Amino acid sequence: MNADEAVLAIWTISEAWPVKWGLSEFKDGENNELAVETLELTYTHINKNA
C-alpha cells in the first residue's frame, strides 16, 4: 500500500510451505527495539496481479 492506502501489487502464491523460520534476538526489555520475524517459503507458482 502507498501513503493513500491504495494497493500497489497483489501476489498470489500457490502450493507454498515454510522451509525456514527465525526471530531476532531480544537484547533487553528496557529499549524500544523491534522484534523481526522472518519466514522463508518455497512454492511452485507465483503470480503478480496488479
Range list of β-strands (E), 1-50: 11-14, 17-23, 37-42, 45-48
In the numeric block, the cell 517459503 is attached to: 41
More confident residue, 48 or 34: 48
Query: What is the pTM (predicted TM-score) of this model?
Result: 0.56
Whether pLDDT at 4 is above 80? yes
Kindly state whether residue 16 falls inside one of the protein's structural domains: yes
All three cell numbers of 32, joined, read 524500544
Q: Which positions ≥6 away from 47 have C-beta within 8 Å?
A: 11, 12
For residue 15, give its domain range: 11-48
DSSP state of 3: T
* Residue 18 banded pLDDT, cuts 50, 70, 90: very high
Whether pLDDT at 36 is above 70? yes
Kindly state whether residue 6 falls inside one of the protein's structural domains: no
What total of structural domains would you count in the chain?
1
